[in-house]
């Protein structure tokens, strides 16, 4: 628990401060991550809890680019196959369902793009590319990696990283915002 009550303004300052400089602190081959998405036949996203919610936002943006995107666990999600990409997030890199999904993906010949707080985990061992976000895992309550509760910093950074991935892919596509909007406007 914080030492003293803080205002919403103070809390926002903490959150924005922890997000500042994320661009230079993400570790891993971001160019290779972009290439995995561009080469994928289909993109599947999977995360547990708030990480899963953050990845759903990324899935929607990738869909706006015209990619064939699916959220693992939805009733209409097909089976993953060779040539597909599984985009997964787990702060610890040990979440059982996420590691198992990555294992299944690699077994069928799909690529795995993992986002975590560590590159030393069962998930990272299975991943084709791992991007590491410097943040606390949800079980780290020491306050040393973040002043926020549980994995909040990781999940917030995951949203920002997903939007950055989308933005990089969008600018590479050469499409305008108007090009992306008409085909999806009736669905939203």
Q: Which residues are catalytic?
A: 155
Three state DSSP letters for 103-163? HHHHHCCCEEEEEECCCCCHHHHHCCEEEECCCCCCCCCCCCCCCCCCCHHHHHHHHHHHH
CA distance 142 to 36: 35
Q: What CA–CA distance (Å, rounded) separates 150 from 77?
A: 30
d(CA 124, CA 116): 8
Instruction: Fill in the DSSP letter of residue 177.
Output: H
């Amino acid at each position: 628990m914080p030492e003293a009550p803080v205002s919403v303004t103070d809390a926002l300052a903490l959150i924005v401060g922890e997000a500042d400089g994320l661009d230079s602190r993400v570790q891993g081959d971001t160019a290779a991550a972009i290439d995995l998405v561009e080469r994928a036949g289909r993109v599947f996203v999977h995360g547990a809890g708030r990480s899963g919610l953050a990845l759903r936002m990324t899935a929607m943006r990738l869909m706006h680019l015209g990619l064939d995107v699916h959220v693992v666990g939805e009733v209409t999600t097909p089976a993953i196959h060779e040539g597909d990409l599984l985009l997964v997030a787990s702060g610890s890199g040990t979440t059982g369902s996420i590691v198992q999904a990555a294992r299944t993906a690699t077994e069928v010949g799909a690529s795995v793009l993992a986002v975590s707080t560590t590159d030393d985990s069962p998930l990272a061992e299975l991943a084709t590319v791992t991007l590491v976000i410097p943040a606390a895992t949800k079980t780290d309550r020491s306050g040393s990696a973040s002043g926020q509760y549980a994995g909040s910093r990781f999940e917030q950074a995951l949203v920002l990283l997903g939007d950055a991935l989308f933005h990089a892919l969008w600018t590479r596509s050469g499409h305008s915002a108007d090009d992306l909007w008409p085909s999806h406007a009736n669905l939203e």
